[in-house]
Amino acid sequence: MRAMRQNEFGLAADVVELVESPDPKPAEGEVLIRIEAAAMHLADVKFVSGAYGFRFFGVPRWMGEEGVARIESIGGGVENWQVGDRVFVPRGIGAFRDCACVAATDLMRAPEGDADQLALTMVNGLTAFLLLEDYTRAQPGEWIIQNGANSSCGRYLVALARMKGVKTVSIVRRPELIEELRPLGADVILVDSGDPDDMAQQVSEATGGAPVVAGIDCVAGPATVTVARCVAQSGRVINYGFMTGEPCQMAFHDLFLREVTLEGMNMKHGYSPEELSGIYQRLADLIASGDLRAAIAGTYSLDRFLDAYAHQQQTGVDRQGKIIIRPND
């Protein structure tokens, strides 16, 4: 077995190592899974460096938050699972590994389809679902706006909103991204001019003056001002990221005169385990069918983990999409 372990906080080259040991054998009630693909996220970079707000994991720790795998062998007393079944990697075991023994009761079935795409279900897929359903609370026919629209969450959000009948304004930084987003069902795609008032005017013209009930911000810094300027009176801005590395900014008159509110999004929710499983299954089916699709910037073996990590740290045209670890390549 090979697995990535973070021993301390710091530079990846100094604190991350590939640990090797004999492959485990499943005990009673366990199965051995062999991991096909695991997703790397910005949070993985923050966890390694120990950035502010990202030290809630103790070290040493096994790395990797999500992925998909196949059952390779089955221990005694396990029912309803067969060798070859595809499953999601249970959260918390560390998905950046080639295999693991896990309790059969912790498994959730994954559909057939592109493993690289399905590896994004449990973080990016759920994030987009929660943003749309629990945070914007937008209804069919209403408008929402988002920046960072070419991100995986942004792409998922466009597609999920289209399915629900919610209309979207997507802000991007480069004109060439427009043709990438249009096939997903984006209603309006605008290139950020850098001027909040200009963007608000463009949005009003593009939507026919319809109110934009909520804005979704994954960029932070001055970009939050733009999203806030584009939402309607008493509109809401939901932040779920800080690609700029800066705090969210809000203009006084948007807060005071227009009564725009800013709130943060996290992965907490009130769904029961059964309800959450149903959400994951729905998202996975949409990903498997191609109705939800993320851009993949690169795939790497465990031996090239530091290359993958360096790629994940890049932005813009240097990393257009998600980084995927294929532990058994």
Q: Judge if 131 and 188 occupy the same domain.
A: yes
Query: What does the pLDDT read at residue 111?
Result: 95
Q: Judge if 111 and 138 occupy the same domain.
A: no
Place of tokens 């509109």: 235
Q: Judge if 245 and 129 occupy the same domain.
A: yes
Report residue 278's pLDDT band, with 50, 70 and 90 as the boundaries.
Answer: very high
Q: Judge if 239 and 113 occupy the same domain.
A: no
Query: What does the pLDDT read at residue 54?
Result: 86
Query: What does the pLDDT read at residue 268?
Result: 79
Q: Judge if 105 and 159 occupy the same domain.
A: no
Query: What does the pLDDT read at residue 205?
Result: 97
Could you give the count of Cα atoms lying within 13 Å of 209 in the half-sphere of its Cβ?
Answer: 0
* Structural domain boundaries enclosing 44: 2-120+294-325
* Average pLDDT of the residues in 25-42: 97
* Average pLDDT of the residues in 195-212: 97
Report residue 51's pLDDT band, with 50, 70 and 90 as the boundaries.
Answer: confident
Omega before residue 60 within 30° of 0, cis: yes
Query: What does the pLDDT read at residue 48?
Result: 94
The tokens of 239 are what?
């932040």
The CATH number of residue 98's host domain is 3.90.180.10
Place of tokens 């800013």: 262
Report residue 317's pLDDT band, with 50, 70 and 90 as the boundaries.
Answer: confident
Q: Judge if 84 and 155 occupy the same domain.
A: no
Strand partners, 35: 69
316 or 221: whose pLDDT is higher? Answer: 221
Query: What does the pLDDT read at residue 11?
Result: 95
For residue 6, pLDDT beyond 90: yes
Q: Judge if 116 and 132 occupy the same domain.
A: no
Strand partners, 5: 17, 62
For residue 319, pLDDT beyond 90: no
Q: Judge if 150 and 184 occupy the same domain.
A: yes
pLDDT single digits (tens) 86-95: 999 998 899 9
284 within domain boundaries: no
Backbone φ, ψ for residue 62 (5° rounding): -80, 140
Q: Which of 264, 286, 308 is the last residue of a domain?
A: 264
141 within domain boundaries: yes
Report residue 26's pLDDT band, with 50, 70 and 90 as the boundaries.
Answer: very high
Mean pLDDT of the chain: 94
DSSP E strands in 7-153: the ranges are 16-20, 30-40, 61-62, 67-74, 86-88, 99-103, 108-109, 143-146
Q: Judge if 114 and 136 occupy the same domain.
A: no
Q: Judge if 116 and 128 occupy the same domain.
A: no
Q: Which of 220, 244, 264 is the last residue of a domain?
A: 264
For residue 96, pLDDT beyond 80: yes
- How many helices (H) and strands (E) in the chain? 11, 16
The CATH number of residue 225's host domain is 3.40.50.720
Domain count, the chain: 2
Burial class (CB in 10 A: 0-12, 13-18, 19+), 257: exposed
pLDDT single digits (tens) 248-273: 999 999 999 999 999 999 887 889 98
Q: Judge if 116 and 166 occupy the same domain.
A: no
**Coil, helix or strand for 69?**
strand
Q: CB under 8 Å, gap of 24 or more: what pairs does 240-243 form?
A: 240/127, 240/131, 240/153, 240/216, 240/264, 240/265, 241/42, 241/148, 241/217, 242/218, 243/148, 243/218, 243/219, 243/315
Entry pTM: 0.91
Q: Judge if 36 and 100 occupy the same domain.
A: yes
276 within domain boundaries: no
* Average pLDDT of the residues in 159-174: 96
For residue 318, pLDDT beyond 80: no
What residue type is assigned to position 46 of the chain? K
269 within domain boundaries: no
- Cβ atoms 303, 18 nearer than 8 A: yes
Report residue 289's pLDDT band, with 50, 70 and 90 as the boundaries.
Answer: very high
Query: What does the pLDDT read at residue 17?
Result: 96
Report how far residue 42's alpha carbon sits from residue 56's, in angstroms, rounded to the nearest whole number: 15
